Amino acid sequence: MEAKKETRQFKTEVQQLMSIIINSLYSHREIFLRELISNSSDAIDKLRFKAQTQSDILGTDTEFKIRIVPNKKKRTLEISDNGIGMTYDEVVENIGTIAKSGTAGFLEAATALNKPDMLTPELIGQFGVGFYSAFIVANRVSLITKAAGSDKATKWESTGDGSYTVEEIDKETRGTTIILSLKKTGKDEQDFTDEWTIRNIIKKHSDFVAYPILMDVEKTEPVLDKDGKPDGNKTIKVVREETLNSMKAIWTKDKKDVSEEEYNEFYRHIAHDWNEPLTHLHVKLEGTTEYSALLYIPSRPPFDLFQSEQKHGIQLYSKRVFIMGNCKELMPPYLAFIKGVVDAPDLNLNVSREILQQDALVKNIQKNLVKKILSLLGDLDKNKYEQFFKEFGSIFKAGLSMDYDNRGKIADLLRYKTTKSDGAFISLKDYVNRMRTDQEAIYYITGENLSALLNSPHLERLKDKDYEVLLMTDPMDEWVLRDLHEYEKKTFKSAEKGDLDFEKIDDNRKDEYHALFDFIKTSLDERVKEVKPSTHLKDSVACLSGDPNDMSAYMEKVLRATGQETPQVKRVLELNMDHPLLAKIKTIYESDKDSSVLKDYSDLLFDMAVISGGGKLDNPSRFSKTIGDLMAKGLAEAPF
């Protein structure tokens, strides 16, 4: 039977991606080796995990390794491993197309930068497209792979010109070999067939890889006589296999023996992120629950943080043996951005994800680590913590719903801008400490625009009383308020829902406006649930508020934006009885209850309330016409 062979075209987005990588990362050419070695390490990890349930899959090839073979004469570089390998279909799926999320995310990030020379190496590892970095240094890339347990092997080859060939071949052993036909080395450029160039790159980027990275090295050794002693000055050149990486399990070392650079380099290795981490946590616990952990808080979110297929960044080991990556059971979803390693020596090597979910040891480790992470965040200096909160605040707030035991600690770590903070973040504790002696509640307002909130008419009376108001512009804050009813025995109170308790309405004046308010309510019956005197307004004439238990206008908007059906919530139209405009309308109403302008004024008051709250008018042309007519009438009556 003839072996399968075909030529295929790269998808358009893959061609774009390759062009960006090849043309934009010339100043970081060495990263290709980091990426290919990392892929080899992942392939061995996957095989080891599979071998836990299929012990015969390894056969006699049980010593895992990664091999580097440079060839100066042919200008080639080989990177091979004895990992899990790939089938024909997996090669087409994984190499020919790239995962859709990775490709789309990479292109989006690259486009956002808008400057090819600004493209940085972290994008390569972060978006899972590292294999293509080989084309930075190679004119041709050949991949030969055989999946563990498979009879046939597959060869993939491309010059990066938009197409690739893939064919079935024979290969004795499992694993993957990548052969790079290297481009000519320019002046002052690294030669990737040079032994010391390869050594330095591996020491810099791949020293922590858990498997030996081997290379045959030519050495000069003394010639030995029959007694095994050096025979004078005679020497001989020999080729010896040498391990280039230390394979140090950095998490098992004492903190004092690890330098900051080693911590950062290990982070780059496990996170595929060239940005330095914001901070790290290195702990070793002995006793009833025994484990070591090295965890990192990134300085920037991973591209897939808010995607459904987002991966957790924790790798689970037992006695330095890799168990699994993407270990969701060790960190709750609101801390899914944490990267690192947990090594639990008492864990069963054959543990499955289903067992992990019920494992008391794992639950205990998670509980301890979460407490330590929250403590670590609390100890960060002000600038570092603000950086963290700006990047991860939205997902971190979800912890209030998910983690009841730590709700108080999470609440302590929340930060908000306020009407008095001049654009700076403050904690809830700072807010409570700054409350006026006559203030009983923590006041807040929600919305998408900070400037609009700061100038909202709902805050006029609160500002007049010199009360500080939290400005909540993150959609997650709506869920924060649902779960966090009070802080340090102070209840949260909306500045836009319900009455402000400290403002009492004069009953006599209320009676004076009662008939007019009933008329306006009748005119706007389909749009408002009530028209009443305002406890919020001081200078403005109108605003829309909600009943205390109503969904906020912002929450309604957020839900609609996500495609969720929400019932239309009628708002309360609040009117300022101290405003001269309202007094004029009252005079017209009392002299001619059938005046046609009263309906126009009712509509106008509603539209002004909508606009002042940052909303959009259903009929902006009517509003514009009404304003125009009123201005024309006013100018006609002016004494000039």
State the residue for tokens 């991973």. 302
Check residue 92 and give its pLDDT.
86
Check residue 221 and give its pLDDT.
84
Sign of CA dihedral 589, 591, 596, 601: negative
> How crowded is residue 110: how many other Cβ atoms within 10 Å of its Cβ?
21
Residue 479 belongs to domain with CATH number: 3.40.50.11260
Q: Which residue has the higher pLDDT, 42 or 107?
A: 42
Mean pLDDT lowest for which of 98-112, 171-185, 287-301, 488-502? 98-112
Residues 515 and 461 in one domain: no
Give the chain's largest Cα–Cα span.
128
The model's pTM: 0.72
64: in domain: yes
Check residue 265 and give its pLDDT.
86
State the residue for tokens 């990267």. 339
485-533 tens-digit pLDDT: 999 999 999 999 988 877 788 889 999 999 999 999 999 988 999 999 9
Mean pLDDT across the stretch 399-406? Answer: 94
Whether the pLDDT of residue 273 is over 60: the answer is: yes
Mean pLDDT across the stretch 306-330? Answer: 75
149: left (phi over 0), alpha (psi -120 to 50) or beta: left
Check residue 575 and give its pLDDT.
96
475: in domain: yes
Mean pLDDT across the stretch 419-434? Answer: 95
DSSP 417: E
Residues 346 and 426 in one domain: no
Domain end position, chosen among 464, 494, 524: 494
Domain end position, chosen among 470, 494, 518: 494
240: in domain: no
Residues 78 and 176 in one domain: yes
Whether the pLDDT of residue 328 is over 70: the answer is: yes
Mean pLDDT across the stretch 402-424? Answer: 95
Check residue 307 and give its pLDDT.
62
Provide the pLDDT confidence category of residue 462 given band limits of 50, 70 and 90: very high
160: left (phi over 0), alpha (psi -120 to 50) or beta: left
Mean pLDDT across the stretch 391-401? Answer: 94
Check residue 210 and give its pLDDT.
84
Check residue 121 and give its pLDDT.
44
Provide the pLDDT confidence category of residue 111 given band limits of 50, 70 and 90: low
Domain end position, chosen among 494, 524, 549: 494
Provide the pLDDT confidence category of residue 407 given band limits of 50, 70 and 90: very high
Residues 49 and 170 in one domain: yes
Give the Å distances, CA to CA, from 282 to 5, 81, 253, 372. Answer: 51, 31, 9, 10
Whether the pLDDT of residue 465 is over 90: the answer is: yes
Residues 11 and 112 in one domain: yes
219-253 tens-digit pLDDT: 888 888 887 788 778 888 888 999 999 887 889 88
54-76 tens-digit pLDDT: 878 998 898 999 999 999 999 99
Residues 95 and 200 in one domain: yes
406: in domain: no
90: in domain: yes
The C-alpha R_g of the chain, in whole angstroms, comes to 34
Whether the pLDDT of residue 585 is over 50: the answer is: yes
Mean pLDDT across the stretch 297-322? Answer: 75
Strands (E), 301-414: 313-318, 321-324, 339-343
CA 47/CA 122 separation, integer angstroms? 26
Check residue 459 and give its pLDDT.
95
Check residue 141 and give its pLDDT.
95
631: in domain: yes
Q: Which long-range contacts (CB under 8 A, 24 or more apart) does 500-504 make?
A: 500/461, 500/462, 500/535, 500/536, 501/440, 502/438, 502/465, 503/461, 503/535, 503/536
Mean pLDDT lowest for which of 8-17, 60-69, 161-170? 8-17
Residues 487 and 542 in one domain: no
Check residue 99 and give its pLDDT.
42
Check residue 639 and give its pLDDT.
64
Residues 486 and 513 in one domain: no
Check residue 116 and give its pLDDT.
45
Contact 242, 67 (CB under 8 A): no
Residues 462 and 609 in one domain: no
Mean pLDDT lowest for which of 353-357, 478-482, 576-580, 615-619? 353-357
343-388 tens-digit pLDDT: 888 876 555 656 666 778 888 999 999 999 999 999 999 999 999 9
Whether the pLDDT of residue 103 is over 50: the answer is: no
393: in domain: no
Q: Which residue has the higher pLDDT, 355 or 42?
A: 42
> How crowded is residue 371: how many other Cβ atoms within 10 Å of its Cβ?
13
Helices 620-636 and 597-612: crossing angle in degrees, nearest 10, is: 120
3-state helix/strand/coil string of 204-227: HHCCCCCCCEEEEEEEEEEEECCC
Q: Which domain holds residue 186?
A: 5-218
Residue 12 belongs to domain with CATH number: 3.30.565.10
Residue 256 belongs to domain with CATH number: 3.30.230.80
Q: Which residue has the higher pLDDT, 59 or 296?
A: 296
307: in domain: yes
Residues 162 and 84 in one domain: yes
Total domains, the chain:
4
Residues 208 and 340 in one domain: no
Share of the chain above pLDDT 70, in %: 89
Residues 380 and 424 in one domain: no
